[in-house]
Amino acid sequence: MTSSIETVQCLIIGSGPAGYTAAIYASRANLNPVLYTGMEMGGQLTQTTDVENFPGYPDGIQGPEMMEHFRAQAERMGADIRFGLATQVDFSSDLHKVWIDGEKEIHAHSVIIATGASAKWLGIPSEKRLNGHGVSACAVCDGFFYRGKSVAIVGAGDTACEEALYLANLCPEVHMLIRRNEMRASKVMQDKVLNTTNIKIYWNTETEEVLGGDNVEGVKIKNTQTGESSVIPIHGFFVAIGHTPNSKIFKPFVNMDEQGYIITQAGSAKTNINGVFACGDVQDSIYRQAVTAAGSGCMAALDAERYLRVILH
């Protein structure tokens, strides 16, 4: 299985804001970090167009361009950034083993997991085609662009309710599309949504198609009880049906919650495995923002530096 073995002080898995920030801090601490990008170099932000809520960019910036800045800064600090996917790990001993692309074996004194989370989508072609052009999986990230415009949101859990309420502060109409005749959200969140006058709820409703040429212009919906289809004119379409943390390969060793988010010790990036740290969306089911991911990447690198200082000196 193994074609080559390499031993490193600090291995970073993932290349979003968390991974690149960890690489910047780890490089400055002389940890000589090696970062493997994963298949989506730059993470979820490479699927985003305008980013206006990250500090330091007063005029906003395109998501892919911002991640290029992150990568360039990490490389300038000395991080060894490589394209490759972690496919297997063995954290059963103090020297952690990680296999890249099923072939190369890395032995690492410390590992920083920054593999992120992937948004769940409805799976309709128009949703994919218009992603970044009116279709979004993050109301907090992109709701600002639809101030004064009508939007729709799909979902029935607490996150969907939170995002619907966030959008209701910006938009005159929020059309909330719910597949069943009830919500999964907590009672308090349901009550808040139901008592917000500019949120209109559509029960027993499925999305058939997101409409528009270059940008979203409407959504075609179907009532599953009556079979009737109708069109709602909108400018923004938000999908809030959950995220899947990219944590599967770590499950035999690292503690996770029932959704698969890695559990870190309060106030740190430490996992239950000595020398293994987690940062970014793979351990954050609450905030899921680029700036919080970057902050936790800093934490992970500082925690790794303190750990290595003890075991290597």
Per domain, the residue ranges of the chain are 5-118+243-311, 121-239
Q: Residues 68, 69, 70, CA angle at the centre, nearest 5°?
A: 90
121-239 has the same fold as 5-118+243-311: yes
Q: Coil, strand or helix: which one is 151?
A: strand
In 3D, which of 306, 243, 304, 211 has the Cα closest to residue 19?
A: 304
Cα(302)–Cα(299) distance, integer angstroms: 5
Which ranges of the chain have pLDDT less than 70?
A: 1-3, 47-49
Q: What is the pLDDT of residue 2?
A: 43
Indicate the length of the chain as a whole number. Answer: 313
Average pLDDT, the chain: 94
Catalytic residue among 10, 50, 59, 138: 138
Whether 281 is catalytic is no
CATH topology of domain 5-118+243-311: FAD/NAD(P)-binding domain (3.50.50)
* DSSP-derived secondary structure letter, 7: E
Q: What is the pLDDT of residue 48?
A: 67
CATH 3.50.50.60 corresponds to the domain 121-239 = yes
pLDDT digits (tens, 9 = 90+) for 216-231: 999 999 999 999 999 9
Whether 171 is catalytic is no
What's the alpha-carbon Rg for the chain, to the nearest Å? 21
Q: Coil, strand or helix: which one is 34?
A: strand
User: How many CB atoms are closer than 10 A to CB 202?
Assistant: 18
In 3D, which of 85, 69, 76, 92 has the Cα closest to residue 35?
A: 85
User: How many CB atoms are closer than 10 A to CB 92?
Assistant: 11
Catalytic residue among 10, 141, 161, 171: 141
Cα(24)–Cα(79) distance, integer angstroms: 7
Written as six digits, the tokens of 78 are 């000395």
* Helix, strand, coil fractions of the chain, as percent rounded to 5: 30, 30, 45
Catalytic residue among 10, 94, 142, 298: 142
The strand pairing partners of 222, in sequence order, are 206, 229
Q: What is the pLDDT of residue 50?
A: 77
Whether 138 is catalytic is yes
Cα(8)–Cα(27) distance, integer angstroms: 13
Cα(155)–Cα(165) distance, integer angstroms: 13
Amino acid at position 261, single letter = Y
Q: What is the pLDDT of residue 53?
A: 87
Q: What's the predicted TM-score (pTM) here?
A: 0.83
Cα(14)–Cα(113) distance, integer angstroms: 7
Is 117 in contact with 246 (CB distance < 8 Å)? yes
